[in-house]
Amino acid sequence: MLQIKNLNLTHKKDLRVILSEFNLVLNKGDKAVIIGEEGNGKSTLMKWIYNPLLIDNYIEAEGERLVGKEILGYLPQEISEEDKEKTIYEFFSAEEMFWNRTPKELSEITGKFGMTSEFFYSDQKMGSLSGGEKVKAHLMRLIIQDVTVLLLDEPSNDIDINTLEILEKIINDWEHIVLFISHDETLIENTANMVIHIEQIVRKTKTRYTVAKIPYRKYLEERFHKFESQERQALNDRKEKKIRDEKYRKIMQSVQNALGNCSRQSPAEAKNLKDKMHAVKSMERRFEKEDENMTEMPEQEEAIFFKLGDKDSSIPAGKTVIEYTLAKLTTKDEERVLAEDINLKIRGSEKICIIGANGVGKTTLLRKIAEELSQRDDIKAEYMPQNYEEILDLDMTPVDFLDKSGDKEERTRIRTYLGSLKYTADEMEHPIRELSGGQKAKVLLLSMSLSGANVLILDEPTRNFSPLSGPVIRKMLREFPGAIISISHDRKYIDEVCDKIYELDYSGLRNL
């Protein structure tokens, strides 16, 4: 059993409360997903559960963490700089349990991920692995460690569809406790039997959390019906209050007028009217108490509102966006051929997605396409890499990064746009490095929109958006009037946004 008692998390910098009086009990067999909008503290909570010292430099934490006999294993969002410099062999051999595993056991572990046990002994640097390969390596190391509690922060990021299905099986078959954060709605729907929802409401001035021991889709349905019923009751209460208050106002006015017209020669009548006024005042006090118990309007996190592109971003249906050919796709050092005979042709406002196994070279190919399109004068292309640091200046604030003119009206407009993306005034002034992955992604999308781009080149565009923001982001991309060339393993994104799907393997691009 893993238990958290009365946990309070507060940002040291702006004193914003992330969690207040948070309580949670996880038992054997629980597969709990933490959901919530970007920047709500999901990863911060996960880090505290694993090791409170991980957040000590930016969070004030109070609360109890009862681990008992559980062995915690943590999969972070990003690999550490220290681990990037290690070879794969050094990464695994640093774990004592690695040496206690038999060759058969090691082979079974790699077999689950479609790999051979030779992977453990590779001299390749961890930092040179693809995003998906890094996630696989971390997951395999956790399995080797014999942990009982899996703490997984975005385990679905960057892994291919086949590995996503393997991850689903690992979570579903895990006998102990799984606590994970994911933006992959399909993964959540297929695995979670418990939902932990962290919210920041009233413009992020008030925190709220919900723990529901039900599957994700049922949680959303019950939440919707609850809010709908509460809103209906609240509106009805306010309608009845309006009618009641109008009647009360007329009675009060009538008694006041009668008192004003009452002759001093009619003391009996005056006394009667004063008694009536006393009764009216008593009625007012009773109404005030009733109003205290009136149904409140449901408080929800404000939905993000954002439109990507405008009519100037559209592309004529017959225009060739790209006709790309490449004889050989190689690794950056050109030591290994990844694919051959690549051909890709895109016309008009087509939205295409490239899929394929981890390490096949999808990101390398997309970067080459981005380089070629960026040289074109007849289109305006913008690139969103997997690693946002390739483009973002992490020391700048979102407003400073987006402001290209320094004009006061421009900065005001940028603040308005960021507000529609649920940034608080404080967050707009934070260095970008202090923002969550989803908040950084929003900065890049807004930058693309402000640039007037009509071709978007996106490497895993939905990977850092919460499952609650996901439907809005997919709708925004689906309605973008220009062309989109993307890589994704997000099954809902592929189904809802993309017109064509290409699979990359050694023999080239294949239209599915």
Where exactly are the structural domains of the chain?
Answer: 1-222, 233-291, 309-509
Q: Summarize the confidence of residues 129-141 as an average pLDDT.
A: 87
CATH topology of 1-222 equal to that of 309-509?
Answer: yes
Highest mean pLDDT (candidates 3-7, 133-137, 402-406): 3-7
Q: Do 457 and 382 form a contact (C-beta atoms < 8 A)? A: yes
Distances (CA, A) of 249 to 256, 294, 316: 10, 20, 64
Q: How far is 245 from 235, CA to CA, in rounded Å?
A: 15
- Kindly tell me the burial class for residue 216, based on how many C-beta atoms sit within 10 Å of its own C-beta (0-12, 13-18, 19 or more): buried
Q: For residue 301, what pLDDT is reported? A: 53
Domain 309-509 class?
Answer: alpha beta
Task: Measure CA of the first residue to CA of the last residue in the chain; give whole Å.
Answer: 46
pLDDT band at 179; cut points 50, 70, 90: very high
Q: Do 178 and 73 form a contact (C-beta atoms < 8 A)? A: no
Grouping H, G, I as helix, E, B as strand and the rest as coil, residue 83 is: helix
Grouping H, G, I as helix, E, B as strand and the rest as coil, residue 394 is: coil
> Percent helix, strand and coil across the chain, each rounded to 5?
45, 20, 35
Which of 393, 365, 389, 348 has the alpha carbon at shortest distance from 457? Answer: 365
Q: Over the stretch 29-80, which tens digit does the pLDDT of each residue have?
A: 999 999 988 778 899 999 999 999 999 999 999 999 999 999 999 999 888 8
Q: Over the stretch 300-330, which tens digit does the pLDDT of each residue have?
A: 555 556 677 777 778 888 899 999 999 999 8
Phi first, then psi: give them for residue 94, nearest 5 degrees. Answer: -70, -20
The residue ranges of DSSP E strands in 114-205, in sequence order, are 149-153, 177-181, 194-201
Q: How far is 195 from 213, CA to CA, in rounded Å?
A: 6
3-state SS, 282-312, equals HHHHHHHHHHHCCCCCCCCCCCCCCCCCCHH
Please tell me the CATH code under which domain 1-222 is placed. Answer: 3.40.50.300
Q: Over the stretch 244-266, which tens digit does the pLDDT of each residue have?
A: 888 888 888 887 887 777 655 56
Q: Summarize the confidence of residues 277-297 as an average pLDDT.
A: 76
Q: Do 183 and 154 form a contact (C-beta atoms < 8 A)? A: yes
Write out the two tokens for 153.
Answer: 């922060």
Q: Do 429 and 399 form a contact (C-beta atoms < 8 A)? A: yes
Which 8-state DSSP code applies to residue 121? G
Q: How far is 394 from 432, CA to CA, in rounded Å?
A: 5
Q: Over the stretch 94-111, which tens digit does the pLDDT of each residue have?
A: 999 999 999 999 999 998
207 bridge partner residues: 200
